[in-house]
Structure 1
Amino acid sequence: MEQLKDVLVRGTAWGGKIRVFAVRTTELVRELQRRHNTLPTATAALGRTATAGAIMGAMLKGEEKLTVQVKGNGPIGQIVVDANANGEVRGYVDNPEVLLPSNAEGKIDVAGGVGREGYLHIIKDLGLKDPYRGSVPLISGELGEDFTYYFALSEQTPSAVGLGVLVDADGTVIHAGGFIVQLLPGLTDAEITRLEQAVGSMPHVTSLLDQGESPEGILRRVVGDDLTIHDQMDIRFQCKCSRDRVLQTLVSLGESELQQLIEDDGEAEIVCHFCNEAYTFDRAQLEQLLEQARPKPIQ
């Protein structure tokens, strides 16, 4: 079967009174699962958060970027996702080895893994002096409802959010994707009711993806044919870490800490939270860094 690439579409509907986004994130979530060896409950929670992050990144412009932090009281611990306006996404969970029994509906128990108490934080770097920060309490832990609550409370934008990750019994990610539909000023009460009914009656996102539905097709399930797609973009896993950045971090530790590291261990291994890439440095390399870290005499 041909593998479909991850893509996000965005547009408007109903005469510009609704803003719409939908995305397929199957390959992204597979890559996150592979890098972090997540078990199904953690895979679904991280995948849903990464999907929401990808869509929220598409709401930004230029070099703007954002970080999503889900801090619930469940066994998964913290979920962190970075995304930007170019479709680049990365993320991790504190505890990837979380596998809970299915919930009462026979689905992955994301809320049990995330926890039903805690906070959803959104930090946006918009190129200003200080980043924008928005926070709301978790209201369900299922994440779709939590992001819906965030948009309503923190950004004053009534929204419908659908997020889904379908995981096979062996832990393989079969499908992942989601949509966000945002209500703009001018909608009548009848139109709002119509939209609520459409969202409430539509199949789950992963069921639609399993049927071969495209992101644009998912949006048509919500808003009908009065839909204008303005553009689309590829979504992909991308981490910003590099050996040079890790070198700079080690040098910034300072002379005394580097000296202690050499004396105690004789080597160092730095592992990136976001991509699990390991960077190793032997004694000779650490001693070179120590020379760089030493204060230079004033000429």
Structure 2
Amino acid sequence: MGRIVRVISKDASVVCSAIDGKDIVSRIEEIHKTSAVVTAALGRLAMGTSLMGFGLKGKDDSITVKMDGDGPTGALICVSDSMGNVKAYVQNPVVELPLNDKGKLDVRGAVGSNGTLSVVKDMGLKEPYCGQVPIVSGEIAEDITNYLAVSEQVPSVCALGVLVNPDLTVNCAGGFLIQLLPFAPESAIDQIEKNINGMESVTKLICGGMTTEAIAMKALEGLEPNVLDDFEVNYRCNCSRERVENALISLGRAELEDLSKDGGTDVECHFCDKKYHFTPEEILGLIKE
């Protein structure tokens, strides 16, 4: 199971959430049969989306994050609920690229450095909140940091990492998201910069055995942080036959009648690969008079 922990500074001006997402990213690789670099890219976005979703207030709130760059992966889409449970989809799950100049998986090359990062927050209002910014790096974490600063005016620091084994299984995966509230003093900002500069990469910390709580506490070291929340998080798809039926109904009479002539149809969920079969009679039964 995954784990997500949120800590807050003593003066409540800085919040840090940290996630151990190995099981989530492993499930992504299992479902989508992703190549190593795509596992790293989609895994990073899934954990970043989970951390952002974990900050939503309403029980039924959700957030959808889409990266649509000019790289060979095509679009990457992740959806999280307010507890950080997340699901993910990628347009092209198998991409093979040489390692980058640092000898690591070339996530930037796979995602692309030109395009957009889009965020849709469904918070139960008449219209969802939508924001969009240009991709600034393609490395995911930097793009999320930029989105929060530009679109939501929340100074933030995001770090994400996925280490993939030679057999394509996931060795470790995790990340953290620090967000400063408007009244955060300059001294807190200086302390966070000092902490971040002194920290190793997320994958090194997690692979070295550091817990999510320890990572979050280390990120806010010197600010007397306390633990607010500690929850289990999972890869979770909320698809259902009822949701699929509603999607089919939206096709209209003509298309439904065409589908009924082909001996029925199978509908597959892009997020979890679950298949739903509808007989000709069931399809005709969806036509609204």
Q: Select which of 16, 21, 42 maps to 2:17.
A: 21
Paired residue type of 1:260 = D
Q: Which runs of 5+ in 1 are unaligned?
A: none
- How far 1:268 sits from its partner (Å)? 1.3
Mapped contact 1:252–1:293 kept (Cα < 8 A): no
Distance 2:288 2:152 in 1: 47
Instruction: Find out whether 1:181 has 2:175 as its counterpart.
Output: no
Q: Which runs of 5+ in 2 are unaligned?
A: none
Q: Percent identity?
A: 40
Superposed CA offset, 1:102-141 (max 9, x none) = 1111111110011001111110011111111111111100
Residue 50 of structure 1 is matched in structure 2 by 46
Residue 123 of structure 2 is matched in structure 1 by 126
Q: Select which of 134, 139, 159 maps to 1:137.
A: 134
Instruction: Find out whether 1:60 has 2:64 as its counterpart.
Output: no
- How far 1:292 sits from its partner (Å)? 4.1
| Structure whose alpha-carbon radius of gyration is higher | 1
- How far 1:289 sits from its partner (Å)? 2.4
Paired residue type of 1:197 = K
Aligned pairs for 1:86-101 within 5 A: 86-101=83-98
Residue 281 of structure 2 is matched in structure 1 by 287
- How far 1:254 sits from its partner (Å)? 3.2
Q: Select which of 237, 240, 245 maps to 1:239.
A: 237
Q: Select which of 112, 116, 120 maps to 1:115.
A: 112
Paired residue type of 1:46 = L
Residue 78 of structure 2 is matched in structure 1 by 81
Structure 2 counterpart SS, 1:151: helix
Superposed CA offset, 1:72-104 (max 9, x none) = 110001111111112321111100011211111
Q: Select which of 201, 204, 213 maps to 1:216.
A: 213
Give me the TM-score of the superposition, normalised by structure 2: 0.94
Paired residue type of 2:50 = A
Q: Does the C-alpha gap of structure 1 residues 115 and 258 become closer, same or farther in structure 2, counting only changes over 3 Å?
A: same
Instruction: Find out whether 1:9 has 2:1 as its counterpart.
Output: no
Q: Does the C-alpha gap of structure 1 residues 291 and 12 become closer, same or farther in structure 2, counting only changes over 3 Å?
A: closer
Q: Which moved more, 1:138-147 or 1:82-91?
A: 82-91
- How far 1:157 sits from its partner (Å)? 1.1
Instruction: Find out whether 1:34 has 2:30 as its counterpart.
Output: yes
Superposed CA offset, 1:224-259 (max 9, x none) = 262111111111111111223323333443332222
Q: Which moved more, 1:252-261 or 1:221-230?
A: 252-261
Q: Does the C-alpha gap of structure 1 residues 109 and 82 become closer, same or farther in structure 2, counting only changes over 3 Å?
A: same
Distance 1:292 1:121 in 2: 33
Paired residue type of 1:15 = D
Distance 2:237 2:209 in 1: 29
Moved over 3 A (4+): 185-191
- How far 1:294 sits from its partner (Å)? 5.6
CA root-mean-square deviation: 1.6
Distance 1:212 1:122 in 2: 32
Distance 1:236 1:184 in 2: 28
Residue 194 of structure 1 is matched in structure 2 by 191
- How far 1:221 sits from its partner (Å)? 2.4
Structure 2 counterpart SS, 1:237: coil
Q: Does the C-alpha gap of structure 1 residues 288 and 16 become closer, same or farther in structure 2, counting only changes over 3 Å?
A: closer
Superposed CA offset, 1:31-57 (max 9, x none) = 111011111111111100110111111
Superposed CA offset, 1:144-167 (max 9, x none) = 111111111111111110011110
Give me the TM-score of the superposition, normalised by structure 1: 0.91
Mapped contact 1:54–1:88 kept (Cα < 8 A): yes
Structure 2 counterpart SS, 1:139: coil
